Amino acid sequence: MDMTMRDERVAVPAAAGGYEIHLAEGALARLPGILASTCGAARCALVTDETVAALHADRAAGAMRAAGLDVRIIAFPPGERNKTRETWAAVTDAMLAAGLGRDAAVVALGGGVVGDLAGFVAATYMRGVPVVQVPTTLLAMIDASIGGKTGVDTPAGKNLVGAFHPPRAVVADPALLATLPAEHLRAGLAEAVKHGAIADAAYLQWIGANGAALAAASTGALLELVRRSIEIKAGFVARDEHERGPRKLLNFGHTIGHAVETLSGYRLLHGEAVAIGMVAEAALGERLGVTERGSASAVAALLQGLGLPVAAGEFDARSVVEATRADKKARGGQVEYALIRRMGEGGVAPERWSIAVRDADAVASLDALRGDGAPC
């Protein structure tokens, strides 16, 4: 047997029923069997975006139909701008028009936008139908498809309407990444750096040492990265499904990241915004005495080596901090930040995962980053 076809499985416990992440080159071929054993649905909505539809939907749908499933492909225009309530309504209406009932299942084939949106459709359709996540971007494979967070953006900010709706299974097939444009591959690497920064210094070193192979999408290096990142993400979800404690660490870089992502009008990719956010939040942590000195420049150097942006300089510090207020993590007036203590260790103190930050500190730290010319 070809060793690359070995099916590695990572189990993720969940209150509503645990699930498995199937990781293997060629795992897409197993989708029909996985659907049968985890959902038992005869009819499926294959929800995807138009770009992924053109590249991969026929193969996925063909395999499902060959196994006797009735499949309806529903594609919406690609991009974060379409992760909206309007698209949620359009996809839901298409499912209703197709006569899909309570016994249907949703297959989310695409990046994090498709996963979040199709997951939210599944969470709400007929008060909830099963979803199987089939991530096709690096970012979705190592982060967004795992953990059950689903939702849409609103003009007031990102992910403000949504639900926890764990998938019945995740099918992670790195072969699907072969068609992914380089900038989206790099954006995914930002979330891998986040995993290393909050949980595993050795992993960070490995990413740094293998930067060239990763940027060139070398199959071996990518498979190794996907495996380790899935382990880390699944580990946090297993410890804290509903993000009351350690799972908050996965938000490192995301408070400022979401703010600059929104302010850029989604010109910045999510992973690019998170790269900028991690540098800014490491600098903020240094200012607050939470984060070891030198961490901001170390994470900036690593991200720059991977071809990611690190400068928040084009955004006015006050506007960024204003935009962080729209984030769900704002509680009782002050905005919560998940910081790191040092490269490879998340948190703000032992067993403390986040910290409320005064606007003045956040503004001063962003201004300082701009002022000294480095690392921004």
Ligand X SMILES: NC(=O)c1ccc[n+]([C@@H]2O[C@H](COP(=O)([O-])OP(=O)(O)OC[C@H]3O[C@@H](n4cnc5c(N)ncnc54)[C@H](O)[C@@H]3O)[C@@H](O)[C@H]2O)c1
Which residues does the annotation mark as catalytic?
127, 149, 191, 233, 243, 247, 251, 254, 258, 270
Residues 93-112 that bind ligand X (CB under 6 A): 110-112
- Give the Å distances, CA to CA, from 316 to 186, 255, 372: 25, 15, 16
**Nearest CB to ligand X, comparing residues 52 and 106:** 52
Report the distance separating Cα 42 and Cα 19, nearest Å: 20
Q: Is 31 in the site for ligand X (CB under 6 A)?
A: no
78 sits near ligand X (criterion: CB under 6 A): yes
Instruction: Please select the residue that binds ligand X; options are 184, 186, 194, 329, rule is CB under 6 A.
Output: 184
Q: Would you give the end-to-end CA distance of the chain in angstroms?
A: 49
Contact code string over 234-263 relative to ligand X, x by CB under 6 A: ------------------------------
What tokens does 108 get? 């989310």
Which of 165, 195, 247, 270 is in the footprint of ligand X by CB under 6 A?
Answer: 270
Q: What is the DSSP string of 53-88?
A: IIIIIHHHHHHHHHTT-EEEEEEE--SGGG-SHHHH
Q: Does 116 bind ligand X (CB under 6 A)?
A: yes
Between 154 and 205, CB nearer to ligand X: 154
DSSP helix/strand/coil, 356: strand
C-beta of 59 vs 287, nearer to ligand X: 59
Chain positions 119 to 138 lying near ligand X, rule: CB under 6 A, are 136-137
Sign of CA dihedral 222, 275, 80, 104: positive
Least Å distance between CB 274 and ligand X?
A: 8
User: Which 345-374 residues touch ligand X, going by CB under 6 A?
Assistant: none
Alpha-carbon distance of 137 to 337, in angstroms, equals 27
113 touching ligand X, by CB under 6 A:
yes
Classify the phi-psi angles of 193: left when phi > 0, otherwise alpha if psi is within -120 to 50, otherwise beta: alpha
Q: Are strands 169-172 and 19-23 parallel, antiparallel or unpaired?
A: parallel
Per CB under 6 A, the segment of 65-73, 175-183, 205-213, 305-313 that binds ligand X is: 175-183
Residues 146-165 that bind ligand X (CB under 6 A): 147, 149, 158-159
Query: Whole-angstrom Cα distance, residue 341 to residue 201?
Result: 12
Per CB under 6 A, 277 contacts ligand X:
no
Kindly state the DSSP code that residue 3 receives in the 8-state scheme.
Answer: G
Tokens 């991009």 belong to: 79
> What is the Rg, in whole angstroms, of the alpha carbon atoms belonging to the chain?
20
Q: Is 200 in the site for ligand X (CB under 6 A)?
A: no
The residues binding ligand X (CB under 6 A) are 49, 51-52, 55, 78-80, 83, 110-114, 116, 136-137, 139-140, 143-144, 147, 149, 158-159, 176-177, 179-180, 184, 187, 269-271
